[in-house]
Structure 1
């Protein structure tokens, strides 16, 4: 069943009330004519006129309110939404590419100590990023092998090496901030009205190119694809500070949160009064403050709408991280 908006509900209510007032006024006018035709004078004629003027003023207010609502598409003020970055903003630029290759060059996985050395790290990383950045037919091992003129097994080998080397950087790049860093982050969120907030949390889906061979149905998600559910937490500067992944695509964000270290070992991550901001799919806890969720057969109050609108503007950082 289609849910009517608050604006539509107000238009229908005012329109119905105005029609009832018109019918009532027509009936009262007819009754007044009958009384005049009988030449009967009433002592409270002045009171009736005052009452009629009051009803007329109320009727005019209803008409003005209806015209004002119909003249505007939205009831409340519309905040300007920041335009999202273009697709090329997510591309790895040349400088970052070579910085990554230089950082991974010392990893033992790229050195086999044989008379037949491996190809340069940059070439292996180029094949890997090409494979990770494609979907559908573009991720085919055969097409990549033809494109780079290498064997299909070599494509798999390059990908495995680069992924293992990148994962080796996890402990250096993906770390939870200390108390001093938390204080700085909290001050930043305090400027926008969220004192004690130390980050943002949300779930995302890592899309898989094919259905997994084992328990494949569990990886089918609500967006009609196969994927892995991942829980991410970041700060205002879009630096990801926590990642919890590996769950099949059918898993709910709330389930991941309950099984993550953020919930099981909350004292290791949060101090007194510290919390993360989330959307309405999360359940409120001492360390997670989500948006208000619309209850069944009941709308949100104006204060709850204002809070959700303000929260969504702050959470844009996580969507683009």
Structure 2
């Protein structure tokens, strides 16, 4: 349901009030002249004074409303917005964690970590000609091979942080997650799962056609699990972009070794692309030539409201 903001309601109210005042002034101007002509020189002075005061009040009120309308239209919010501390940039966080990894004991020390990461991020964040090694080497005045070295070194350093930054929640942490989702009707839920596509700038040389997705670009299929705080707790990636989410689910450790990840009664919430199992509770999928029942529709609507956290998590990851 569309919800109208207080700002829009106030603007609409002021516009209507100004329109009514202008209409009233126009009517007074059109029909007020007859009384002036009939009264002649015997017109009551008090009546003239009262009439002038009324008109002056209308003009003043109209001016105040117009100023208020312009003020509100010029401001995005009605009330002043509080200052929100900006979270540290992700590259600063990674830079701090990688300081210990970039270490060279030779007589020729490496360039500063921030310079190497700048080259790597520039290359990883570009498409088309912008990703060319020669163009990046010319931009930073380094050798072509140095671009490759910096990129590979940063990637390996980031991957080495996987075991410390990405881990499956412990039994105690899962209890906290289950308590959270139990309050919204999903007792035993320990996370949310969904698939996503990681875009590739170019077509892979080997089996490139397999990486072409249904969305019209080359990519890598990825499976992610997050908790109620949008913290990623599991990642399974590397499959071609044409792979279905359920295909990844079947081949990942969550399905092959569920006892290492789940206790009795624990499961993940998923969308209708997944098949229901002991550890996966998906949304109902409409069968061909059949409609969902009212109960199934209500369940899917409630499930989607809870699962929005994994959608937000993936959005934060990609942005």
TM-score range, shorter chain: 0.5 to 0.7
For residue 265 of structure 1, report the CA deviation from its aligned partner.
0.5
**Secondary structure in 2 aligned to 1:201?**
strand
- Distance in 1 of aligned mates of 2:306 and 2:253: 24
The residue matched to 1:188 in structure 2 has which SS? helix
Shift of 1:97: 2.9
- The residue that corresponds to 1:304 in the other structure is 296
- Are 1:174 and 2:166 matched, yes or no? yes
> How does the TM-score come out when normalised to structure 1?
0.67
- 1:161 and 2:122 aligned: no
- The 1:258–1:205 alpha-carbon spacing in structure 2 relative to 1, beyond 3 Å, is same
Distance across 2 between alignment mates of 1:118 and 1:92? 29
For 1:317 and 1:134, locate their aligned partners in 2 and report how far apart those are by CA, in whole Å.
28
Deviations 1:181-206 (A, max 9, x none): 00000111112211110000111111
Partner-residue secondary structure (3-state), 1:315: helix
Q: Does 1:151 align with 2:143?
A: yes
Quote the Cα distance in structure 1 between the aligned partners of 2:93 and 2:205: 36
Q: How far 1:155 sits from its partner (Å)?
A: 1.8
The CA distance in 2 between the partners of 1:144 and 1:111, in whole Å, is 24
Q: Please give the alpha-carbon distance, in whole angstroms, between the structure 1 residues aligned to 2:181 and 2:132.
A: 44
Q: State how far apart, in whole Å, the 1-side matches of 2:112 and 2:127 are.
A: 25
Shift of 1:111: 2.8
Give aligned pairs, total.
228
Deviation at 1:130, TM superposition (A): 2.5
Q: What's 2:182 paired with?
A: 190
- Alignment deviations for residues 110-134 of structure 1 (CA, whole Å, 9 cap, x no partner): 3333332211111111222222233
Residue 319 of structure 1 deviates from its aligned partner by 1.4
Correspondences of 1:230-309 after superposition (within 5 Å): 230-309=222-301
In 2, distance between residues paired with 1:221 and 1:152? 32
Alignment match, 2:74: none
RMSD: 1.7
**Cα distance in 2 for residues equivalent to 1:292 and 1:300:** 8
> Which structure 2 residue ranges, 5 or more long, are not aligned?
1-85, 314-319
CA deviation profile, 1:58-92 (whole Å, cap 9, x unmatched) = xxxxxxxxxxxxxxxxxxxxxxxxxxxxxxxxx98
Q: 1:192 to 1:140 in 2, by over 3 A?
A: farther
Q: What is the TM-score of this pair, normalised by structure 2?
A: 0.68
1:208 to 197, 200, 205: 200
Which region of structure 1 is more displaced relative to structure 2, 282-291 or 129-138?
129-138
Q: Secondary structure at the match of 2:129?
A: helix
| Partner residue in 1 for 2:109 | 117
Q: 1:315 to 1:138 in 2, by over 3 A?
A: farther
